[in-house]
């Protein structure tokens, strides 16, 4: 038996043969403790967070994008996607379909406004 202090979490010190027979008893069963479907637009919106901060709350420079009016945000995103590109944002926004921009605007509007709360 090795005696070093093991790291955190489900591990075992390696040892001889693992009994595997119970694997055959596998049955389908969902995880009851997990949340249901992620909200629409959450994944798409998270692609804004590299620059605009997790949940739209930047730590530096760029503007916060959480908690804005969904219709105004949608209008602004559409404008950026249609005008002659002025900067990197006008290019990035062209990645999304109009329907995706709607989902993003709606989801971002559900997030706290910058500075109002943290992202936990």
How many whole angstroms separate alpha carbon 36 and alpha carbon 8? 28
Q: How many residues does the chain have?
A: 120
Instruction: Report yes or no: 45 and 96 within 8 Å, Cβ to Cβ.
Output: no
Q: What is the DSSP letter of 94?
A: G
Query: Per CB under 8 A, which of residues 96..115 are in contact with other proteins?
Result: 96-97, 100
Binding to other proteins by CB under 8 A, coded x per residue (else -) over 53-82, reads xx---xxxxx--------------------
Binding to other proteins by CB under 8 A, coded x per residue (else -) over 3-42, reads -xxxxxxxxxxxx-xxxx-xx-xxxxxxxxxxxxxx---x
Nearest 5°: phi and psi at 3? -115, 0
Selected from 69, 72, 83, 94, the binder of other proteins by CB under 8 A is 94
Least distance to other proteins, CB of residue 57, Å? 9
């Amino acid at each position: 038996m090795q005696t070093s202090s093991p790291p955190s979490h489900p591990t075992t010190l390696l040892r001889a043969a693992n009994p595997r027979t119970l694997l055959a008893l596998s049955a389908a069963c969902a995880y009851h403790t997990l949340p249901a479907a992620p909200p629409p637009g959450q994944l798409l919106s998270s692609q804004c967070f590299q620059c605009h901060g997790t949940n739209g709350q930047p730590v530096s420079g760029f503007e916060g994008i959480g908690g804005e009016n969904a219709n105004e945000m949608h209008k602004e995103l559409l404008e950026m996607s249609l005008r002659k590109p002025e900067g990197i944002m006008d290019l990035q926004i062209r990645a999304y379909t109009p329907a995706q921009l709607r989902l993003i605007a709606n989801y971002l509007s559900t997030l706290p406004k910058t500075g109002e709360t943290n992202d936990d």
